Structure 1
Amino acid sequence: MIKFGNKSLPSYVKIMDVKYSILPSIQTKTEKVYGRAGVYDFGVELGERNIECEAIIIATDQHDVIKKARQFSTWLFYKDLQPLIILDEPDKQYMARISGDTDISELYRTGKTTLKFLCPDPYAESIDEKVVNYTPVDYTPVNINVGGSVETYPIIDMEVKEDTPSLALITYDKFVKLGSDDDVEKTSIDNKPLVLNETYDTYSGYGSGIGIDGNAKGTATISGTLNSNGYAVVQSGKDYGTNDIDWHGGAGTKTLSRQLQDFQVTSKVKLNSTKISQVGRVEIYLFDTNNVILGKVAIVDHSTSGEWPKIEARAGERYTGTYFVSTYGKKKGTYADFDGIIQIGRQGRTWDAYFAKIDSKGKHVSTYKKSWYDTKNMWSNRKLAKIQVHVGAFGKKEPVFTMEIKDLKVYEKNIAVSSTQVPITFKAGDIVTIDSQRAVVYRNGEPIFTELDPASEFFPLEVGANGLLLSPPIADVSIRYKERWI
C-alpha cells in the first residue's frame, strides 16, 4: 500500500505489487588515459530512483472502469513533487511525481495499470523534522547526533541578540560566514541607523494627515480616524467617511527625529478582500519639512471585477512625479491576499522599491524590485522629514475587508565608513536563516547573497555526531533537519 500527496488510496484502488531497487541508479565516473592500463577512478554519481506500483481499479460494473480511472487520475497527477510513502515504512517518504505512461487494461469491471513514480532525489527522508534549539554562551560547539544512513542538509535560524558586523556557523571542516570581516583594530559603526521604529502597539505621536492622492485634483478627502488594534494601524470602526467620486479615509503623520537625505522606508502591510468587488488601498507618503510630497509607496486594489491589487512606488508629487513602479506583478492576482512588505528608498539620485509577500515560514515570495535614476534631479534634493500613513476606500464602493499597517521602519542610508571602521550587518532582533538545502541565506525573510562570504560552503550534517559553532555566540539558534536513507 502507498500514500501519495498526503492522501490515502481511493477505496476502489488496490496495490498488488510494489517494485523498487535496493539502490538508485549508480554511474561510475572514470577517465581513460592513453598509455596507461586501466582507468582513473573518480568515484560514483547516484541517479534518480524509480518506484513502480501495480494497481487494480475495481469498478461497480463494466461501464464504470473508465469513470473510476478518470477519478484516479486526479488523485495521481501533480505538477510539483509530492510525498510518496510506502506503508511498509510509514515514517519515511520520497519526493516523487507520476511519470511515463499509465496505460490501463480493462477486464470486465476491473482495470489494471502500472504506476511509475520518479524520485529525482534518490534518498528517503523522515516525515517528521527534527529540531535542535540552543543558545550559545561561549565558543563551545553544540553536538548534534544525526541518524539515518546518509548526510542531511539543515535549515538554521538565528535570532540575533546584539548588533554585529558578521555571523559565522562553523563545522570541523566547513563554514558559512555572513557580513563584513571584523578586525580587532577597527570599531563597529551602524551605517544604516534606525530613525523610526513603529510596531503599532499604540498609535500615539501621530498628527493629522497632510493630504492624500485623488482621482481628480483636490477631490480626495481625509476622513474618519486611524487607531491601533494592538499590533497594526487600522481605520477606526471601518468608517472611511464619504466621498462619492474619489478616495477617502484616515491619514496620520509623524515627524522624524531628524531630516534624512538618503533613506529607506519599510512597512509590513495587509490588504485582504473577502469579495472581488471590494476596493481599497494602503499607502505610505513621504513629506519634506514644508509638507511637500517627496514620494509614495502603496498597494492598491481599484478593480471591482477581480482581486487584482497593484503595487506602486513614486518619486515626487501626484501629477508631476514619476511612477517607477505600477504593476500587477507577474500577472493579475499576484498580490491578492497581500500580507507582506512594501518599501521605498533613495540614495543620491537613485530611487528604489521592493515588494514581497511573506509566506507562513517568514520567507519573502512573489518579490519585485526596481530602481530608477532621477536624471533631472527633480526629486532628490529635498530631505525626508515626515511620514504619513493612510488606508482608504473609493466612492461608494465596498472597502477591502482588511487593510492594516503592521510595522514601519525608517532607516538613514549612506553613512560613510572610514578605514578604521567596520559596518554593522545584523542588528538585534534580526532573524538570519542559512538554508543549506537550497543554498540560500536570508535576513528577516529576504535573500541576502551580497552578504555571503565567497569562501563559504553550505555544509551537511553527517551521520553520527556533528559539532557546530556560532561565532560570535550572540544568537538563539534553531537547527532543523530531516534524517535521510539511501
Structure 2
Amino acid sequence: MILDVIYNGVSLSNYCYVQEIKRDVLPSHDNVIMDVPAKIGTYFYSQKISPRTFSVDIFIAEPFEENRKALASVLQSDSLVPIEFSDQEGIIYDGIFTGSSEISKMNSKEGTTTLQFFIPYPYGRGNSYIAHIPSTQSTQDIQVYGTVETFPVITATFVQDTSAFAITSGDKYLQLGHFQTVGTTPLPKEQLIFFDSCSSLTGWTALNGTFEEIALTGQINSNGYSFSLLNVGEGSEWHGSALAKGFSEPVQDFVFQAKVQNRASGANLEKQIGKIDIYFRNTAGESIAKLTLKDDTPTAYLNNAQAGLGYYGRREIIFDRKVKNLNDFDGLIRLRREGKAINVYFGQIRNGKEEWSTATRIIDAKGLFTDKVASIVIALSTHGTNPASTMYIEDLKLWKINQLDKTTNVDQIFKAGDVLTIDMGSASIYLNGINAIQYMVAGSQFFGLKPNIQTIGVAPSGVADVDIKYDSRWS
C-alpha cells in the first residue's frame, strides 16, 4: 500500500513521499484520581480520554524548494480541517497541523521531516446513518456502527401540538417542556395572533408623504413570498416606501419576529445603502418603538442593527451594533416585551439554524414603551443617489404572551409544523432555527449512542416524526 495523507481535501503525496504513519492503538486514557493523606492507595473516579497527535514521516524530493513551499501552503490553517490517512480508508479525523517541521537535508535536492497532526476529539468518523421513527411509533431499535460512542443529531418535525417532548436511550433522557397532568390544561405562553408571509399586499395600507425621516416616493412589491422595493423613488435624504397593517387585537406583552435580508452584491459594495425599518404603533397610530437594520456608510460595507423605544423625536436607542457579522444579513430580528423587560435579537440563519447572533435585554425603567401595540409599519429605503442594497422582508409574526397559572396551565411549547433540532455532540437545541435550550428540564442530559443495537424512545407518541442522524465513530 502506498501511504498518503489527505489534508483538507489535498493529497500530500502531490508534494512528498509519505514514508511512515505513526499512531497509538487508542487515545491516551488518563486516570482521574484523588489522594487522601494517611489513606493507603488513592481514590479512582474515572478515566479521561485525551486528545491525540499523529506523526507522519515524509521525504521531499526535487524540485525540493517548489515542493516545500507548496506543502507549507497546504498545511497552513487556522482552524480544524478534515484529515484522512490512507491506512484507515473511509475514516476522517478533524485536526490541524501542529508543532515544528525541521527538515533534515540529505543533500541540496532532498530532505526529510516529521509532520504532526493534533486531533482534539480523538476518534475518527466514518459513514453517516439516519434512523427514522414515524409519529405512529414510540420506540425504535437502531443499529449503531463503529467502535466508540457517537453523538447524534435528532430532528423532530411535529405533526401535533404538545406541551413537552422527550427522547430516551436506556436510562438516559432529554426532556423539553412539561407534560400535561390531569389537573392542567395546555395553553401556549406565546400565542400566534399575527402572521403575514408577504405573499401579497392584500391587507396592507401604503403610506404617503413622509413617515418619520423617510420620504415615501417609492413602491414596495411582493414577488409571492417576500416584500422588496419595486422602485426606490427620489430624494436627497432617506426615501423609499412604507406599508401598515393592524393586528387582530392590541397586545401588551408580545414577541415580534421578522425574517429579513439586507445584503450588498456585485461591485462597489461599500457604496450600496439600504435601510429596513419596522415600527410599532399604539392604538392612536403613533409609532412608539422601532427595529432597524441598515447600511448607512457610503465608504464601507458595514450593516448596523438598532432598536429604539419611545415617540419619534424623543426616541432612545437601546441597542446599537455595527459589526461585520451583520453583513450579508439573512436571518431573524425579534423584539420581546413582557412587563418592563425588553429583549432585542438579531440572528444570522444559515441552513435553517442560527449561525451567529447579537442580543440585549433591558428594563424599561423610564416607561418609554408601555402602550399596547395595535399595528406595525414596515419601511424599505435608501439614501440620496446611492445605489440601494438588496433588501427583503419575508415573514412577519407576532405572538401574544399569555400569563399562565402554573397550577392549572402547562405551556404548549410545540406547534404542528415546528422543527426541533437536538445536537447531542454540541449540546445545543434549536426550535425553528432559534436557540431553545431554555426549555430543557432539570434531570435531562445530552447523551451519546454506544455501538450495538440501541432502543430509542420518544414521548409523547403520535406528536412528531423523528430522524436520528449519526456518524459512525472509530478508534
The residue number in structure 1 matching 2:89 is 90
Corresponding position: 1:313 with 2:311: no
CA distance 1:418–1:35, change in 2 (3 Å):
closer
Instruction: Write the deviation string for residues 349-400 of structure 1: whole angstroms up to 9, x where unpaired.
Output: 222211110123x2212211112222222321x2111111111111100000
The residue number in structure 1 matching 2:368 is 378
The residue number in structure 2 matching 1:265 is 256
8 Å CA contact 1:263–1:347 kept in 2: the answer is yes
Kindly provide the amino acid, as one letter, of the partner of residue 477 in structure 1: V
Corresponding position: 1:137 with 2:125: no
1:85 Cα deviation after fit: 0.2
8 Å CA contact 2:219–2:233 kept in 1: the answer is no
Kindly provide the amino acid, as one letter, of the partner of residue 376 in structure 1: K
Q: Find the aligned partners of 1:343 and 1:178 in 2 and give their Cα distance.
A: 22
Q: Find the aligned partners of 2:201 and 2:10 in 1 and give their Cα distance.
A: 47
Alignment partner of 1:483: what SS?
Answer: strand
The residue number in structure 2 matching 1:235 is 229
CA distance 1:129–1:230, change in 2 (3 Å):
farther
Kindly provide the amino acid, as one letter, of the partner of residue 92 in structure 1: I
8 Å CA contact 2:218–2:234 kept in 1: the answer is no
Aligned pairs, number: 466
8 Å CA contact 2:15–2:71 kept in 1: the answer is no
Q: Of the candidates 43, 46, 49, which is equivalent to residue 49 of structure 2? A: 46
The residue number in structure 2 matching 1:393 is 382
The residue number in structure 2 matching 1:250 is 241
Q: Of the candidates 164, 168, 171, which is equivalent to residue 169 of structure 2? A: 171
1:42 Cα deviation after fit: 4.1
Instruction: Write the deviation string for residues 83-122 of structure 1: whole angstroms up to 9, x where unpaired.
Output: 1100222310111111111112333122322100111111
The residue number in structure 1 matching 2:192 is 194
Corresponding position: 1:455 with 2:447: no
1:155 Cα deviation after fit: 0.7
CA distance 1:316–1:59, change in 2 (3 Å):
farther
8 Å CA contact 1:287–1:293 kept in 2: the answer is yes
Corresponding position: 1:481 with 2:462: no
Q: TM-score, normalised by structure 2?
A: 0.93
The residue number in structure 1 matching 2:423 is 435
The residue number in structure 2 matching 1:9 is 12
8 Å CA contact 2:141–2:455 kept in 1: the answer is yes
Q: Find the aligned partners of 2:341 and 2:37 in 1 and give their Cα distance.
A: 59
Alignment partner of 1:482: what SS?
Answer: strand
The residue number in structure 2 matching 1:113 is 113
Q: Find the aligned partners of 2:198 and 2:376 in 1 and give their Cα distance.
A: 14
Alignment partner of 1:415: what SS?
Answer: coil
1:242 Cα deviation after fit: 0.5
CA distance 1:15–1:372, change in 2 (3 Å):
same
Q: Find the aligned partners of 1:169 and 1:203 in 2 and give their Cα distance.
A: 42
8 Å CA contact 1:10–1:72 kept in 2: the answer is no
Q: Find the aligned partners of 1:384 and 1:204 in 2 and give their Cα distance.
A: 21
Q: Find the aligned partners of 2:125 and 2:387 in 1 and give their Cα distance.
A: 49
The residue number in structure 2 matching 1:57 is 60
Q: Of the candidates 309, 318, 329, which is equivalent to residue 338 of structure 1? A: 329
1:43 Cα deviation after fit: 4.7
Q: Of the candidates 147, 150, 158, which is equivalent to residue 149 of structure 1? A: 147
Q: Find the aligned partners of 1:354 and 1:183 in 2 and give their Cα distance.
A: 34
Q: Find the aligned partners of 2:40 and 2:290 in 1 and give their Cα distance.
A: 72
Kindly provide the amino acid, as one letter, of the partner of residue 159 in structure 1: T
8 Å CA contact 2:15–2:70 kept in 1: the answer is no
Kindly provide the amino acid, as one letter, of the partner of residue 233 in structure 2: G
Q: Find the aligned partners of 2:94 and 2:67 in 1 and give their Cα distance.
A: 25
Q: Of the candidates 180, 183, 186, which is equivalent to residue 182 of structure 1? A: 180
1:181 Cα deviation after fit: 4.0
Kindly provide the amino acid, as one letter, of the partner of residue 156 in structure 1: I
CA distance 1:54–1:341, change in 2 (3 Å):
same
Q: TM-score, normalised by structure 1?
A: 0.91
Which structure 2 segments of 5+ residues have no match? Answer: none
Alignment partner of 2:271: what SS?
Answer: coil
Alignment partner of 1:250: what SS?
Answer: strand
Alignment partner of 1:334: what SS?
Answer: helix
Q: Of the candidates 202, 205, 220, which is equivalent to residue 204 of structure 1? A: 202
Q: Which moved more, 1:91-100 or 1:28-37?
A: 28-37
Instruction: Write the deviation string for residues 210-236 of structure 1: whole angstroms up to 9, x where unpaired.
Output: 75342xxxxx31122222212211112
Kindly provide the amino acid, as one letter, of the partner of residue 80 in structure 2: L
Kindly provide the amino acid, as one letter, of the partner of residue 18 in structure 1: I
Q: Find the aligned partners of 1:317 and 1:71 in 2 and give their Cα distance.
A: 61
Give 1:291-302 correspondences, 5 Å limit: 291-302=285-296
The residue number in structure 2 matching 1:424 is 412
Q: Find the aligned partners of 1:35 and 1:350 in 2 and give their Cα distance.
A: 56
The residue number in structure 2 matching 1:353 is 344
8 Å CA contact 1:81–1:97 kept in 2: the answer is yes
Percent identical: 27
Alignment partner of 1:235: what SS?
Answer: strand
Instruction: Write the deviation string for residues 336-360 of structure 1: whole angstroms up to 9, x where unpaired.
Output: 1100011112222222211110123
Q: Find the aligned partners of 2:211 and 2:224 in 1 and give their Cα distance.
A: 25
Q: Find the aligned partners of 2:132 and 2:275 in 1 and give their Cα distance.
A: 40
CA distance 1:295–1:109, change in 2 (3 Å):
same
Instruction: Write the deviation string for residues 153-205 of structure 1: whole angstroms up to 9, x where unpaired.
Output: 11101112222111100122110000124212211112211111112223321
Q: Which moved more, 1:367-376 or 1:383-392?
A: 367-376
CA distance 1:418–1:82, change in 2 (3 Å):
closer
Kindly provide the amino acid, as one letter, of the partner of residue 371 in structure 1: R
8 Å CA contact 2:259–2:393 kept in 1: the answer is yes
The residue number in structure 2 matching 1:217 is none
The residue number in structure 1 matching 2:460 is 472
The residue number in structure 2 matching 1:289 is 283
- Quote the RMSD (CA, aligned, Å): 2.0
Q: Find the aligned partners of 2:341 and 2:7 in 1 and give their Cα distance.
A: 50
CA distance 1:38–1:261, change in 2 (3 Å):
closer
1:335 Cα deviation after fit: 0.7
> Which is richer in strand?
2
